[in-house]
Structure 1
Amino acid sequence: MIAGGTAFAVAGVALALRRCVFERVAGFKELPPTPIFMVEGLAIRGTDTVAYFREGRPVVGDAAFETEWNGARWRFASAENRDDFLAAPERFAPQYGGFCAWAVAARGELYSTQPRNWSIVDSRLYLNFNDKIQRRWESDIPGFIAEADRRWPEIAASIT
């Protein structure tokens, strides 16, 4: 049994630790949003990002299944895909905001992307500029991912 004064001190320390942990976790939610590649306000040209994972191909989204996330409008082929995206957007959203993964890695720049130029690596979606760039990307995917991951925080911070 803990004496009254000691119990109060232990409770105070526990509350202080809980507050520190809560503030750290809450702080992550307050980070600026990731810039998103958009055409006329539509993320990834209106392509259903969940379909890449479910169907293994790009599928044009439907305005009837549209939602907003991270400053962009996202379209989906079904209500189920939209709802799954909303439950875990970071799981389905393309890396580097949907900008060209190769350009982020190789040039430190933001290029547009085409929905047909894509790959999923370790459950992450990567998009690229065109067929030629997609072939370059495929020549060293692990190296390009490592370099893009290193460069992305600075690039994203410069445009938010």
Structure 2
Amino acid sequence: MKNSVIILALLFAVLSFGQNDVKRLTHFNLENKIAIQGYDPVAYFMKKSAIKGKKELNVSYQGIIYLFSSPENKDAFNKNPASFEPQFGGWCAYAMGNSGEKVAIDPDTFKIIDGKLYLFYNAYFNNTLKSWNKDELNLKKKAEANWKKFIN
């Protein structure tokens, strides 16, 4: 009986993890399972800059592949991957807060807020980071609520 309970618990854990991976792959902003258009998520924090990662320096975290510009950044990510992931699945934070939509981003347009990475659309004379900065607190709350609708 005890072994049966353990086996069922393990099976449930594996199935739940698999479902979480599928949900992330469905709702995150990815190109061939690669996040942030191949930019190094750690560089945003350590270098305060958007730096393209290298294919040979990659990590798969819960089904999503991240690329890194240096072995040190890869190591930092491996120690605490969730702290380096972009908010709202890597979609434009402004659009998520303003309309609850998944809108593409420009990896060079970003902001670190309370130790979290926020990415923004910036094309065709529309830099949404500027709009975000005008009403950040309100847009951040709305974006968090809207993102929960996708991942819950």
TM-score by shorter chain over 0.5? yes
Using structure 1 for the length normalisation, give the TM-score.
0.75
Give RMSD over aligned pairs.
2.2
Instruction: Output the CA distance in 2 between the equivalents of 1:128 and 1:52.
Output: 13
Which structure's CA Rg is the greater one? 1
Residue in structure 1 matching 2:76, options 50, 60, 84? 84
> Deviation above 3 Å: which 4+ runs of structure 1?
none
C-alpha contact (below 8 Å) 2:120/2:127 kept by paired residues = no
1:106 Cα deviation after fit: 0.6
Instruction: Output the CA distance in 1 between the equivalents of 2:50 and 2:138.
Output: 25
Equivalent position SS for 1:66: strand
Instruction: Output the CA distance in 2 between the equivalents of 1:141 and 1:119.
Output: 11
1:39 Cα deviation after fit: 2.0
Instruction: Output the CA distance in 2 between the equivalents of 1:113 and 1:71.
Output: 21
Are positions 1:57 and 2:45 aligned together? Answer: no
**Which residue of structure 2 lines up, in the alignment, with residue 6 of structure 1?**
none
1:41 Cα deviation after fit: 2.7
C-alpha contact (below 8 Å) 1:66/1:73 kept by paired residues = yes
Cα distance change of structure 1 residues 148 and 114 upon mapping to structure 2, 3 Å threshold: same
Structure 2 unaligned blocks of 5 or more: 1-12
**Which residue of structure 2 lines up, in the alignment, with residue 44 of structure 1?**
36
**Which residue of structure 2 lines up, in the alignment, with residue 101 of structure 1?**
93
Equivalent position SS for 1:32: helix
Q: Percent identity?
A: 30
Instruction: Output the CA distance in 2 between the equivalents of 1:70 and 1:119.
Output: 24
Equivalent position SS for 1:126: strand
Residue in structure 1 matching 2:129, options 124, 130, 134? 134
The worse-fitting range, judged by mean Cα deviation, of 104-113 and 67-76 is: 67-76
**Which residue of structure 1 lines up, in the alignment, with residue 117 of structure 2?**
125
1:84 Cα deviation after fit: 1.3
Using structure 2 for the length normalisation, give the TM-score.
0.78
